[in-house]
Structure 1
Amino acid sequence: MSLFKWLMSLILLWVKLECSEAALSSDPLVVDIPNGKLRGRDNGHYYSYESVPYAEPPIGELRFEAPQPYSKQWADVFNVTQPPVACLQWNQFSEEKLQGAEDCLTVSVYKPKNTTRSSYPVVVLLHGGAFMFGGAASNGHEYIMREGRLMLVKISYRVGPLGFASSGDKDLPGNYGLKDQRLALRWIKENIASFGGMSDNIVLIGHSAGGASTHLQLLHEDFSQLARAAISVSGNALDPWVVQQGGRRRAFELGRIVGCGQPTDSVELKKCLKSKPAREIVSAVRSFLVFSYVPFTPFGPVVEPADAPDAFLTQDPRDVINSGKFSQVPWVVTYTTEDGGYNAALLLEENKTTGETWIETLNNRWFDWAPYLLFYRDSKKTIKDMDVFSRDLRQKYLGDRRFSVESYWDLQRMFTDILFKNSVPEAIDLHRKRGQSPVYSFVYDNPAVSGVGQVLSNRTDVFFGTVHGDDFFLIFNVGALRKAIRLDEEIISRKFIKMIEDFALSEKGILTFGECNFQNNVNSSEYQVLRITGNGCMNEHYDQFL
């Protein structure tokens, strides 16, 4: 080949590469981040970039370890068009209980098409599922995308024993799922501008275990560097099912179930658990259930020892708040009027072995089952203490009546109070005493036609009221529970999404819902909550906190 032809071929190659680069840079589906270029999908009225890895796969030697940032460099454009895979789990709401994959640490980004703006405030979602199940794909994004004003990021994090098994010492400290969330939040802060997101206008939101996770993330002093505000819907760090004791006993029992024998210490236990098939470890969850899916959180957050590497939580959340060493960002904490429909409703289901409902069986098993249903099994020092507490609860809510379908509403009220409602004024009271940033609250009082109550009980003849998720599923649609929503719920849905957008953009943390302004509980002697109903909203004030 002559020198001239050789030079011409180089020039043509250079031009071709330059044209390719120009085409990629002008393609809205191609995003450039430090790992390289990735290509998303055009969904008509929004773009999606799903299953983007933020951490190294937590497999092999990285199982039961704090997540490591994703380090691979992509030579070619990386395809991110596959829906996120759920982390390996034993799922209460699935007929095929064992599902998901161990390699699951990804974020999924959804960007509306809106010619009137070039950047968007960002809402980051932490899914619920009792720290045991659920996934980024379990909550839909259609409602948010149709409004066209918010960018959404969903985080996948480890759940169940793979995410939360803990021996209570530095060798197997636990909280891996919470550490996943935190690493993902850092990834979002560093990369979201490349997608068109406003990195200084991020709101973190979660429901149930996701709401509790959101609160736990906020309890880190530097959370304000990752998000501007936070919303905990029907779940916060003070709920009794969130930070539990007894983790060490459960971790060694897990080892015994999967064939680790009787390890002498947690180093040996961890080594053995790393060698076992992940599916065996997760399938062992059924051995921790007393009946049905009770307790709904056998593995969850724990207080780690101070010497644990990469520790996430080394004090009880109440002590963290009392210390004042938590992030000063605006926070919203909520509940529904009948949140306890999860998990009280499952007691209405028929026991296929005996033919009677679980609630009828409860009459003979109350003292055995109540500590698991209401999460005081490990917090009471003696069996006598447990029995006294169980007896007092039953007397307070049911008096001398038997557990039955007729007394179900009082049982559900008990579950609502203990598992979800009582913690809200307690949390607000602690925050208002030790914090400076606004703290808001709302209660949702507008029953859906169908929800968690009907699904868990497998019944349509019982009125459950406004149960767990009736509000949240108007923001993040869940087709299995809500086939369609009413006109009043359509209006509420749009108001919720506008509320989140304005919250993300507000420099002073002001919060509004439609025509209603939330009242700040900080520097207030009254407990203030906004009640949202199908007819509107109204502020309620109570003379004192609990």
Structure 2
Amino acid sequence: MVMMSTLGVFISLALILGTANAASLGAVYTEGGMVQGKNRLIGLFRYVDVFKGIPFAAPPGRLEKPVPHPGWDGVLDATDYRNRCLQLTLLQTDVVGSEDCLYLNIWVPQGSKVSTNLPVMVFIYGGAFLLGSSQGANFLNNYLYDGQELADRGNVIVVTFNYRLGPLGFLSSGDADAPGNYGLWDQHAAIAWVHRNIRNFGGNPDNITIFGESAGAASVNFQILSPKNKGLIRRAISQSGVALCPWAIIRNPRQHAEEIARTVGCPIDSGMVACLKMTDPKAVTLAGKIKMSTSAAEPIVNNLYLSAVIDGDFLPNEPETLFGNTANIDYIVGVNDMDGHIFATVDIPSINNALASTSVDEVRSLAMALSESRGVDAGIATFQEYTVSWGSDPSDKDIKKTVVDLETDYIFLVPSQAALYLHSDNAVSGRTYSYLFTEPSRMPVYPLWMGADHADDLQYIFGKPFSTPLGYFPRHRDVAQYMIAYWTNFAHTGDPNNGESKVPVAWPEFASSGHQYLDIHNSMNSNSVKQMLRTREVYYWTRVFASYPVVKKN
């Protein structure tokens, strides 16, 4: 007992001494002025400097590109998150946020000395280009995108930032009046700000890794494809989304802009954009709500109509033609094995209901709807492709899993595989890595056959099993440890196996031998290295389905 008491005194003394000699940046000079954050003690001689709410651009003009911030006098108090960008609430009945929203947050790990020349990891959040913020969802004061665990455990600087969403971020008139992609320009502005200023925070501006999930993952792909970012980005990670996803590019932006204009009472002639700029931004944002159908014949993915456009500027051409711009960028691309589940449960609610069966007709309707761009024959072919293994009497479980597989493949997995092939084929010095995240969902209401749902990976990469340990089992801490190790090693060296953290199994490059990928879960070993991910389905969508003629819409 005395020994424990003495040990406690020594630990307390060490913490006091450590606090007294805390390694901290103090006030930091940026191009806009001085900023002062907070220094957190997080362990024995371990600290993190946290800066929240630093402006990386001026409050943006409506439907205009971001411009530099004019700066400020004195020292900016950078200790609180700023408003998220104006966006719909989850129920789409109201809006939250502000137009003045272009701010970023920085986490800098410190040891006994102030850090210098650290790799920088810049995160881009998802949310269908309609929702989201730099801090993410929160319970009490526990924010999903808090960068502390990732920064400390991986010895990297972590940056998160806001970008405009919905109509204010992605409406396009299809011409020079409102070319679109404002949210992508915001992302570019944040990355460029980091490149110009991060050295003063102890970062290496020549070693920036951007990473993101869902719409943020597609954004990561857009950023490395765009010639506007030449020389700014060294590495990239796309988690469940790429520029080739069917929801990532809008082909008829003018039509949707006119729908929004009509909703808010604006003309659809040459005065449309001028009117939209003068209209209450809350009304414009509300006009961008998506139709939440619960019908297999009208899947939600077909209703996502506010996203990137080929504007001839930020995106000068089709994404598949721009992978030459990524030739010297190291790239990790992966998906969760049941990424499509979150969409499937909206389209066919019986998926999660053990007491309700899912009908073959619903699967057929879904296959036809997802194939509508190529016509009826393509829809029939899709249905046949996904039901070929059913036999004469498929179980309800088989039918439900087929729905999830169909949506996962179409919305996320196949486009991601196509992006991997394109990056690998165009690579000069850039390395390519593929993964499949398969840690089962922790949601107790989900079916027993459930794998990793969309966004399940985020809690692990941001170290939630460590920061909120009572909510997780030891196996979840293993998953978090593995992901943080691979991700931050990659940020350090461009090779997820080599860096400051030990990994459970070597992750081979995608094209090293038979298009290999890493299966990420809680009990990884040499069997976790696999190859040719869902090759048959990839072949179907990229070759067979793509061979059907495109159906012209009226």
Aligned to 1:390: 379
Of 480, 499, 512, the match for 1:493: 480
Tell me if structure 1 keeps the 8 A contact 2:211–2:239: yes
Residue 473 of structure 1, aligned match among 449, 454, 459: 459
| Aligned equivalents of 1:172, 1:299: Cα separation in 2 | 13
Aligned-partner Cα distance in 2 for 1:226–1:408? 44
Mapping for residues 287-302 of structure 1, pairs under 5 Å? 288-290=291-293, 294-295=300-301, 297-302=304-309
Partner residue, 1:64:
63
Distance 1:202 1:491, change over 3 A: same
Give the match for residue 510 of structure 1. 495
Pick from 124, 127, 145: which aligns with 1:126? 124
Match of 1:140 among 145, 168, 180: 145
Distance verdict in 2 for CA 1:274–1:29, change over 3 Å: same
Given that 1:30 and 1:38 are in contact with CA atoms closer than 8 Å, whether structure 2 keeps it comes out as yes
Give the letter for the 2:119 counterpart: P
- The yes-or-no answer on 1:31 pairing with 2:28 is yes
Q: How far 1:482 sits from its partner (Å)?
A: 10
Closer, same or farther: CA 52–223 of 1 in aligned 2, 3 Å:
same
Which residue is equivalent to 1:346? 346
Q: Which residue is 1:539 aligned to?
A: 529
Deviation of 1:212 (Å): 0.8
Q: Which runs of 5+ in 2 are unaligned?
A: 1-22, 43-47, 137-143, 540-554
Alignment partner, residue 112 of structure 2:
115
Structure 2 residue 160 is matched with structure 1 residue 157: no
- Aligned equivalent of 2:51: 49
User: Per-residue deviation at 1:140?
Assistant: 2.4
Residues 251-283 of structure 1, C-alpha deviations (whole Å, 9 max, x = no match): 11110011113x223xx1110111111111111
Between 142-151 and 417-426, report the one with greater CA deviation. 142-151
Determine the structure 1 residue equivalent to 2:272: 269
Question: SS in structure 2 opposite 1:225?
Answer: coil
TM-score (norm 1): 0.80
> Is it true that 1:449 corresponds to 2:448 in the alignment?
no
> Quick one: percent identity of the two aligned structures?
27
Distance 1:349 1:198 in 2: 48
> For residues 371 and 285 of structure 1, what CA distance do their matches in structure 2 show?
26
Report which stretch shifted further, 487-496 or 203-212.
Answer: 487-496
Aligned equivalents of 2:394 and 2:175: distance in 1? 43
Equivalence for 1:100: 97
**Residues matched between the structures, number:** 483
Are 2:354 and 2:447, in contact at CA under 8 Å, matched by a contact in 1? no
User: Unaligned 5+ residue runs, structure 1?
Assistant: 1-25
1:173 aligns with 2:179: yes
Find the counterpart in structure 2 of residue 16 from structure 1: none
Give how far 1:362 is off: 10
One-letter amino acid of the structure 1 residue matched with residue 495 of structure 2: I
TM-score using structure 2 length: 0.79
**Aligned residue identity for 1:518:** W
> Does the 8 A contact of 1:107 with 1:154 survive in 2?
yes
TM superposition shift of 1:366: 6.8
| C-alpha distance 463-483 of structure 1, shift in aligned 2 (>3 A) | farther
Q: Provide, for residues 395-419 of structure 1, a one-character-per-residue CA deviation record: whole Å limited to 9, x for no partner.
A: 4334798997772211001001111
1:84/1:446 Cα in 2 relative to 1: closer, same or farther (>3 Å)? same
The question of 1:431 aligning with 2:423 is answered yes
8 Å contact 2:213–2:240 — kept in the other structure?
Answer: yes
Contact 1:91 1:134 in 2 (8 A): no
- 1:233-248 mapped onto 2 (5 Å cutoff): 233-248=239-254
Q: CA deviation at 1:499?
A: 2.1
Q: Which structure 1 residue ranges, 4+ long, deviate > 6 Å from structure 2? A: 355-362, 369-372, 399-406
Change in Cα spacing, 1:291 to 1:282, as seen in structure 2 (3 Å) is farther
Contact 1:218 1:327 in 2 (8 A): no
Residues 364 and 419 of structure 1, relative CA distance in 2, 3 Å threshold = closer
1:221, 1:326 within 8 Å by CA — same for their partners in 2?
Answer: no
Whether 1:320 aligns to 2:346 is no
Asked if 1 retains the 8 angstrom alpha-carbon contact of 2:238 and 2:334, the reply is yes
Checking the alignment, whether the CA contact within 8 Å between 2:249 and 2:308 is kept in structure 1 is yes
Q: How far does residue 202 in structure 1 lie from its aligned partner after superposition? A: 1.7
What amino acid sits opposite 1:154 in the alignment?
A: T
Equivalences for 1:342-381 in 2 at 5 Å?
Answer: 342-347=342-347, 349=349, 363=361, 367=365, 374=370, 380=373
The code of the aligned residue for 1:510 comes to D
The equivalent residue for 1:18 is: none
- What SS class does the counterpart of residue 421 from structure 2 fall into? helix
Find the aligned partners of 1:542 and 1:289 in 2 and give their Cα distance: 35
Amino acid corresponding to residue 443 of structure 1 in structure 2: L
Pairwise CA RMSD: 3.3
Shift in alpha-carbon separation, 1:27–1:502, aligned structure 2, 3 A: closer
- 1:478-511, CA deviations, whole angstroms, 9 ceiling, x for partnerless residues? 79x99823212212212222223222221xx222
Contact 1:128/1:134 (<8 A) preserved: yes
Q: How far apart are 1:236 and its partner, in Å?
A: 0.9
Residue in structure 1 matched with residue 17 of structure 2 by the alignment: none
**Contact map agreement 1:398 1:411 (CA 8 A) in 2:** no
CA distance in 1, matches of 2:424, 2:446: 42
Q: CA deviation at 1:361?
A: 9.7
**Given that residues 337 and 438 in structure 2 are in contact (C-alpha distance below 8 angstroms), is that contact kept between their aligned partners in structure 1?**
yes
